[in-house]
């Protein structure tokens, strides 16, 4: 698949912060927030974006610090990112937005929704992180900084070959984004590790239809964790996706887009719970 057309990629400035956006498609606005390490930003030719663009106006930003645009000194955690994206929604005058987030992006999306759903219509969280389910001695998910990227791929994907990095044959641009991804994920989610201790007690504030998706082969997070996440959100639906792990939008992009579209259309009963 070739690179996304140049006209899909543009930059905006929100409160003095540069933000790169991949925008494509038409229809109801859909803000898609990407995961953290090891994927980091969406690829310019991300298949899931093209699949979603068949039904939505897809707005897919690169979080400050992940791409070429630096994060400002004051932007140090997911809470800051959540307020930043609320400012983006206002600046673009978006209404009735379908908010989708994957992994770290799911955490950001949840933080946005507990603050305000005034501009949102539906929420989709794919293999999200961000809350603490177990006791203080129990890990809810794998410490991705304690293992090599090859091991992350083996835990994150149904087909690890998709995510196993080919370092010797990678371009300088690819290596740059890998380094930025690792650095920025630590910036926003290091302490406490990949969660906000207060978020779980705030999830009841989400008052829009919500779908929690779980890639069935995921061993970074577990099904029980994601089901518990859904249980904290009033009326949330839970559905599994076969043939995918922690990043279902990457491994099964068409099925992922179909699941989102079905949920937005009110056909969530067609999803596998």
**Average confidence (pLDDT) over 225-250:** 97
Residue 4 has pLDDT above 60, yes or no: no
- Residues with Cβ within 8 Å of 235's Cβ and at least 6 positions away in sequence, in order, are 209, 210
Tell me the pLDDT tens digit for each residue of 88-124: 999 999 999 999 999 999 999 999 999 999 999 999 9
Whether the model clears a pTM of 0.85, i.e. scores above it, the answer is yes
Q: In the structure, what pLDDT confidence band is assigned to residue 173 with cuts at 50, 70 and 90?
A: confident
Q: How far apart are CA 270 and CA 273, in angstroms?
A: 9
Q: What is the pLDDT of residue 273?
A: 65
The residue ranges of every structural domain in the chain are 6-270
Q: In the structure, what pLDDT confidence band is assigned to residue 135 with cuts at 50, 70 and 90?
A: confident
Tell me the pLDDT tens digit for each residue of 15-47: 999 999 999 999 999 999 999 988 888 988 899
For 246, the token pair is 């922690």
Paired with 56 in beta bridges are: 28
Peptide bond into 192 cis (omega under 30): yes
Provide the 8-state DSSP code for 270.
Answer: G
**CATH architecture classification, 6-270:** 3-Layer(aba) Sandwich (3.40)
For 252, the token pair is 């099964």
Paired with 215 in beta bridges are: 241
Percentage, residues of the chain above pLDDT 90:
75
- Find, among 139, 250, 125, 112, the residue nearest to 194 by Cα: 139
Q: How far apart are CA 56 and CA 258, in angstroms?
A: 12
């Amino acid at each position: 698949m070739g690179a996304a057309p140049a006209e899909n990629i543009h930059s905006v400035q929100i409160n003095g912060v540069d933000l790169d956006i991949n925008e494509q498609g038409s229809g109801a606005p859909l803000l898609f927030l990407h995961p953290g390490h090891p994927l980091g930003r969406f690829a310019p030719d991300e298949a899931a974006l093209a699949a979603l663009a068949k039904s939505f106006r897809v707005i897919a930003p690169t979080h400050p610090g992940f791409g070429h645009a630096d994060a400002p000194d004051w932007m140090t955690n997911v809470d800051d990112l959540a307020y930043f994206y609320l400012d983006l929604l206002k600046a673009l005058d978006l209404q009735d937005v379908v908010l989708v987030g994957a992994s770290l992006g799911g955490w950001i999306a949840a933080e946005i929704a507990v603050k305000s759903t005034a501009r949102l219509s539906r929420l989709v969280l794919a293999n999200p992180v961000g809350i603490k389910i177990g006791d203080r001695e129990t890990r809810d998910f794998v410490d991705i900084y304690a293992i090599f990227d090859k091991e992350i791929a083996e835990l994150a994907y149904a087909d690890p070959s998709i995510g196993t990095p080919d370092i010797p044959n990678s371009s300088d641009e690819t290596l740059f984004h890998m380094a930025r991804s690792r650095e920025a994920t630590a910036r926003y989610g290091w302490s406490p590790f990949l969660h906000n201790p207060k978020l779980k007690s705030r999830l009841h504030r989400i008052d829009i239809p919500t779908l929690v998706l779980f890639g069935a082969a995921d061993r970074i997070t577990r099904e029980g964790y994601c089901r518990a996440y859904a249980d904290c959100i009033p009326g949330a639906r839970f559905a599994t996706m076969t043939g995918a792990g922690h990043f279902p939008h990457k491994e099964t992009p068409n099925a992922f887009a179909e699941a989102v579209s079905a949920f937005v259309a009110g056909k969530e009963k067609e999803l596998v719970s």
